Structure 1
Amino acid sequence: MVKIKPFLVEEYMNRVENTPGVLNVAETCSASISIEELTQLCKDPKAPGPLDLSRKLTYGDILGSDKLRSHIANLLSRDSPTPLPAENVIVTQGAIAGNYLVFYSLVGPGDHVICVYPTYQQLYSVAESLGAEVSLWKLKEECGYVPDVSELDNLVKSNTKLIVINNPNNPTGATVPKSVLGQIVEFAKERGITILADEVYSPLFHSLPDGQPAPPSVLSFGHEKTISTGSMSKAFALAGIRLGWVASRDKSILAAVASARDYTSISVSMLDDQVAAYALSPAVLPSLLDRNMSLARTNLKLFEEFVNKYSSALSWFKPNAGTTALVQFRKRGTPVDDEEFCLDLLEKTKVMFLPAGSCFGHGKDFKGYVRIGYACHTNVLEEALVKLGEYVEQNLL
Structure 2
Amino acid sequence: MVKIELFEVEQWMDKYENTPGVLNIAETCAASVSVDELVALSKDGNNSGNAPGPISLSTRMTYGAIRGSTKLRQHIADLYTGAGLTPENIVVTQGAIAANFLLFYTLVGPGDHVICVYPTYQQLYSVPESLGAEVSLWELKPENGYIPDLSDLEKLIKPNTKLIVINNPNNPTGATTPESTLASLVNIAKAHNITILADEVYSPLYHSTPAPPSILAIDPASSFTKTISTGSMSKSFALAGLRIGWIASRDPDLIEAAVAARDYTTISVSQLDDQVAAYALSPAVKPGLLERNLALARTNLAMLAAFVDRYPKVVEWVKPTAGTTAFIRFSDKHGKPVDGDEFAVGALEEANVLFVPASRCFGRNRDFQGYVRIGYVNQTEVLREGLERLGRYVEKHLM
**Could you tell me the TM-score, scaled by structure 1's length?**
0.97
Q: Which residue of 2 aligns with 1:110?
A: 111
The answer as to 2:69 corresponding to 1:65 is yes
Write the deviation string for residues 65-100 of structure 1: whole angstroms up to 9, x where unpaired. Answer: 000000000001x1x1x5111111000000000000
Cα distance in 1 for residues equivalent to 2:205 and 2:7? 25
**Could you tell me the TM-score, scaled by structure 2's length?**
0.97
Q: Which residue of 2 aligns with 1:256?
A: 257
Q: Which residue of 2 aligns with 1:14?
A: 14
1:268, CA displacement in angstroms?
0.1
Which shifted more, 361-370 or 287-296?
Answer: 361-370
Q: Which residue of 2 aligns with 1:317?
A: 318
1:364, CA displacement in angstroms?
2.4
Q: Which residue of 1 aligns with 2:157?
A: 156
What does residue range 256-295 of structure 1 map to in structure 2 within 5 Å?
256-295=257-296
Q: Which residue of 2 aligns with 1:361?
A: 363
1:334 is paired with a residue of what secondary structure? coil
Q: Which residue of 1 aligns with 2:44?
A: 44
Write the deviation string for residues 331-368 of structure 1: whole angstroms up to 9, x where unpaired. Answer: 11211000110001000111101000111113521101
2:309 is paired with a residue of what secondary structure? helix
Q: Which residue of 2 aligns with 1:128?
A: 129
Q: For 1:323, give the aligned amino acid.
A: T
The answer as to 2:354 corresponding to 1:352 is yes
2:331 is paired with a residue of what secondary structure? strand
Write the deviation string for residues 51-72 of structure 1: whole angstroms up to 9, x where unpaired. Answer: 0011111100000000000000
Q: Which residue of 2 aligns with 1:53?
A: 57
Write the deviation string for residues 99-148 of structure 1: whole angstroms up to 9, x where unpaired. Answer: 00000000000000000000000000000000000000000000000001
1:153, CA displacement in angstroms?
1.7
Identity of aligned residues (%): 64
1:153 is paired with a residue of what secondary structure? helix
Q: For 2:373, give the aligned amino acid.
A: R
Q: Which runs of 5+ in 2 are unaligned?
A: none
1:258, CA displacement in angstroms?
0.3
1:48, CA displacement in angstroms?
1.8
2:225 is paired with a residue of what secondary structure? coil
What is the aligned counterpart of 2:214 among 197, 212, 217?
A: 217
1:168 is paired with a residue of what secondary structure? coil
Q: Which residue of 2 aligns with 1:339?
A: 341
Q: For 1:215, give the aligned amino acid.
A: P
Structure 1 residue ranges (4+ consecutive) displaced by more than 6 angstroms after TM superposition: none
Cα distance in 1 for residues equivalent to 2:111 and 2:69? 37
Cα distance in 2 for residues equivalent to 1:48 and 1:191? 50
Write the deviation string for residues 268-306 of structure 1: whole angstroms up to 9, x where unpaired. Answer: 000000000000000000000000000000000000011
Cα distance in 2 for residues equivalent to 1:363 and 1:116? 16
How many residues end up aligned between the 2 structures?
Answer: 390
Q: For 1:41, give the aligned amino acid.
A: L
Q: For 1:386, give the aligned amino acid.
A: E
Q: For 1:31, give the aligned amino acid.
A: A
Q: Which residue of 2 aligns with 1:230?
A: 231
1:312, CA displacement in angstroms?
1.2
1:47, CA displacement in angstroms?
3.9
Distance 1:101 1:57, change over 3 A: same
Cα distance in 2 for residues equivalent to 1:273 and 1:363? 40
Q: Which residue of 2 aligns with 1:183?
A: 184
Q: Which runs of 5+ in 1 are unaligned?
A: none
